[in-house]
Amino acid sequence: MSVVAVCTRGWVVDARSLIDRGYSRCIRLTDKNQKTHVKCRFKRQCFQILTSHYSERASAALDGGNTDTLQRADRPSKKRKRKHSELNQGEVDSQAFHEKIRSVILEGTKSLVDSAQSLGYLKGASDTVKEPLPSQECSLAALCEMAKELPLVADEEQECVQPLVAEDGRTSHVDLFSRVTENKADWAAVVTLMGEEYVVPPHTAFLLSDFTRTQPLVHYGRRYDLIVMDPPWENKSVKRSRRYSSLPSSQLKQLPIPQLASPNCLVVTWVTNRPSHLRYVRDELYPHWGVEVVAEWFWVKVTTSAEFVFPLDSHHKKPYEVLVLGRYRSSADNSTCPPETTEVPVEDHRLIVSVPSALHSQKPSLSEVLKPFIGAEANCLELFARSLQPGWTSWGNEVLKFQHTSYFTLTPAEDGADVPKDKTADDRTDKPTVAPVCSSPKESSPPHHCPITAD
């Protein structure tokens, strides 16, 4: 199951299952044009967040992206603690925002967790895998930087799209940096690109390029009903860790959203808990593109036993992240929009509860939870992507990062024997399990035992 529980508060999702849905049929291509069937699953240990990272003596082995650990509680701090009165304006704003939405997070998460646990989910992991996480080193951004040295080809001379696999079955000819690459097949493919093996989902298109080289995406000619982006926001921890290059907020305005968005396109932006970033998206970035803010959602991160990954009131890190949702409004485009088109309203303050990945900046897929607001046949685009999704177009300078085979478990499979022609095994088990509608706190009291607490 990928969507474990649904209620008026939001959704509980199994992020790893959402990834695996795209690989129920997978073929490995070799340099000698040979095909072998394989079973492909994302590595389980990447989603084994067993304890809250503020728990006493919590493991410090996990990566510091979505699931940063603090220094051990028994290790004396070298920094002098500041008095509350010494908070800077950003910290004051952060605290005010937290107090505003605290009850939404706490009560909504309790209701959703209770629904999920009634179905046997989030009750602790019993089948853990004691294997190290895959290495997260990635050279794709450096390759994109090198590709910028190549001269730009005139638009009229540029072939903007290419197949992932040529007619001869080879992929060595693929130009990943200046063309959109398509896998139009009904199956995922394990292919060799730039000397490394990657898993590419079915019906997928992607462009590996720097922020300044998005022209092939525009010339690809598609208009999208959903655009999701996870910008590399500037912050101090990123500068210290040097995990990836950040981007000044002002440069985000250069993204060609008006050229990519269809009328009433739903635009979703992942935002850090820094109030200045949230204000920038709401008050500057979206208005610049002609996008009207319609809702704020929250991704709540919990352990496999349903604890917040950080205390809710922690001053260091919060167990939630914000998503800003908006609709693209353009007078020129709206004039061509069919009058019978009905826009599905987006409810405010919905929660997406999941066990986060231990891998830095790997967000859960939003494809299933957003379907009611865009339709099942919508064209979907992810910007600043680090992975691919079946049926989506993706762009970023690390767009293939989490598609590397080191993140997957590949095992031989009989040639198509385990995959029915009309419906895959995953399709049969992936229907959302709808829990009873969560009650509001006024209608019922909280469950007698719920591990989601504020401390």
Which range (236-245, 246-255, 306-315) has the least confidence? 236-245
- Assess whether pLDDT exceeds 90 at residue 427: no
- Assess whether pLDDT exceeds 60 at residue 435: no
Residues 6+ apart with CB under 8 A from 227: 257, 260, 261, 265, 266, 267, 268, 380, 381, 382, 383
Which residues lie across from 353 on neighbouring strands? 12, 300
CATH topology of domain 3-64+97-429: Rossmann fold (3.40.50)
User: For 244-256, how does the pLDDT look when each residue is reduced to its tens digit (9 = 90+)?
Assistant: 567 888 899 999 9
- Assess whether pLDDT exceeds 60 at residue 75: no
CA-based Rg of the chain, rounded to a whole angstrom? 22
Helix extents (H) in 164-314:
215-219, 236-241, 257-260, 275-280, 286-289
* Closest C-alpha to 204, from 435, 447, 399, 414: 399
pLDDT at 1: 64
Which range (10-19, 152-161, 287-296, 406-415) has the least confidence? 152-161
Provide mean pLDDT across the span 365-392.
95
User: What does pTM read for this prediction?
Assistant: 0.85
User: For 161-200, how does the pLDDT look when each residue is reduced to its tens digit (9 = 90+)?
Assistant: 999 987 777 776 789 999 999 999 999 999 999 999 999 9
Measured in whole angstroms, how far is the alpha carbon of residue 269 from the centre of its chain?
Answer: 10
Residue whose token pair is 């504020």: 454
Provide mean pLDDT across the span 397-406.
97
Q: Count CA atoms closer than 13 A to 421's CA, side-chain side.
A: 0
Phi, psi of 65 (to 5 degrees): -85, -90
Residue whose token pair is 């088109």: 341
Choose from 79-83, 236-240, 245-249 the range with maximum mean pLDDT. 245-249
For the chain, what is the mean pLDDT?
Answer: 82
Q: What is the Cα–Cα distance from 262 to 259, expressed in whole angstroms? A: 8
Q: What is the Cα–Cα distance from 2 to 12, expressed in whole angstroms? A: 9
Letter for the amino acid at 55? S
For residue 388, name the pLDDT band (cuts at 50, 70, 90). Answer: very high
Write down how long the chain is. 455
On the 0-12 / 13-18 / 19+ scale of CB atoms within 10 A, 188 is buried
Q: Domains of the chain: which residue ranges? A: 3-64+97-429
For residue 350, name the pLDDT band (cuts at 50, 70, 90). Answer: very high
- Assess whether pLDDT exceeds 90 at residue 424: no
